[in-house]
Amino acid sequence: MKKFDKDIFERLRQGETISPDDPQIGRLREASYATIELVQRLNNSSNPDEIRSILKQITESEIDASTALFPPLYINYGKNTKIGKNVFVNFGCTFLDLGGLTIEDNVMLAPGVKLLSESHPLSSGNRQSLVPKPIHIKRNAWIGANAVILQGVTVGENAVVAAGAVVSKDVPDNAVVGGIPAKFIKSIE
């Protein structure tokens, strides 16, 4: 089977770098525009049940009644996002999920949090390529306001990411990290 015979979304989930001349590249933009339509509906709602229902359509997965989201939310694809129970997503969060996002139970995302599972190569010759790597936010984590979690990062169980932090490396369980780039501050008892 040739590389391009496989579905581009499957290749992204498998962590394959997608070049700008990939014959399926147009499907990424088409899918994003379809998601934008749903996101606009979500962002114009103040009904928690309707918000969860639209989020279910965006992610194509169950959204538990204990999960709450305060719009606006910005998300480019949605189908690679998995959200657990009793999750709180505050105003103005951004999810770039082509690389995959897993948000486990009891996670809190403060206003303006950005989960960015996609990046580009540093080399200017192939910078237009898309490099996906999943983000995993484990149970009971708290991500502070305007924090940025970069591709490939796992935030450990019970961890806290300070407001404004830029997290480029895994965060251990029961740890507090902060700064740019985020560094270990202390352990949580």
Instruction: Tell me what the mean pLDDT of segment 153-177 comes to.
Output: 98
Task: Give phi and psi for 81, each to the nearest 5.
Answer: -110, 130
Residues β-bridged to residue 136 = 102, 154
pLDDT in tens, 36-92: 999 999 999 999 999 999 999 999 999 999 999 999 999 999 999 999 999 999 999
pLDDT at residue 2 tops 80: no
The dihedral through the CA atoms of 56, 116, 76, 113 has a sign that is positive
- H or E segment at 179? none
- The catalytic residues are 120
pTM: 0.95
Instruction: Tell me what the mean pLDDT of segment 173-187 comes to.
Output: 98
> Side-chain half-sphere of 141: how many Cα atoms within 13 Å?
30
Question: What topology does CATH give the domain 3-187?
Answer: UDP N-Acetylglucosamine Acyltransferase; domain 1 (2.160.10)
Sketch the domain layout of the chain as residue ranges: 3-187
Residues β-bridged to residue 171 = 155
pLDDT at residue 94 tops 80: yes
Give the torsion through C-alpha atoms of 74, 180, 101, 97, to 10 deg.
50
Q: Which residues are CB-neighbours of 1 under 8 A, at least 6 positions away?
A: none
Residues 143, 133: Cα–Cα separation, whole Å: 19
CA 178, chain centre distance (Å): 19
Instruction: Tell me what the mean pLDDT of segment 6-14 comes to.
Output: 92
Long-range contacts of 57-63 (CB under 8 A, 24+ apart): 59/83
4 pLDDT tier (thresholds 50, 70, 90): low
Instruction: Tell me what the mean pLDDT of segment 145-152 comes to.
Output: 98
Please answer whether residues 130 and 118 qualify as being in contact, where contact means their C-beta atoms are separated by less than 8 angstroms: yes
Can you tell me which residue has the tokens 């959204």? Answer: 63
pLDDT averaged over the chain? 96
**Given this model, what pLDDT does residue 75 score?**
97
pLDDT at residue 1 tops 70: no
